[in-house]
Amino acid sequence: MRRPPDLVIAVDGPAASGKGTVARALAARFGLPHLDTGTLYRAVALNLLRWGGDPESEFAALRACDGIASLADDPELRAEAVGGVASRISAYPAVREALLERQRDFAGQSGGAVLDGRDIGTVIAPAAHAKLFVTASADARAERRLNELEHRGLTAHLADVLLDIRARDERDSHRATAPLARAEDALLLDTTTLDRDAAVAEAIRLVEQRLAG
Site string for ligand CDP, 68-87 (x = CB under 6 A): ---------------x--xx
**Distances in whole angstroms, Cα of residue 102 to Cα of each of 35, 67, 125:** 10, 13, 12
- Taking the CA atoms of 9, 203, 79 and 177 in sequence, report the sign of the dihedral they define: positive
Shortest CA distance to 66 belongs to which of 80, 53, 81, 84? 53
Smallest separation (angstroms) from ligand CDP to the CB of 213: 28
State the minimum distance, in angstroms, from the CB of residue 209 to ligand CDP: 25
Give the DSSP H/E element, type plus range, for residue 108.
none
What is the rounded distance in angstroms from the CA atom of residue 92 to the CA atom of residue 57?
9
> Which residue of 41, 92, 106, 133 would you call a contact of ligand CDP, by CB under 6 A?
41
Nearer to ligand CDP by Cβ, of 53 and 83: the residue is 83
Query: Which residue, 148 or 208, is less far from ligand CDP as judged by CB?
Result: 148
Amino acid at 50: R
Query: What residues make contact with ligand CDP under the rule CB under 6 A?
Result: 15, 37-38, 41-42, 83, 86-87, 90, 117-119, 168, 172
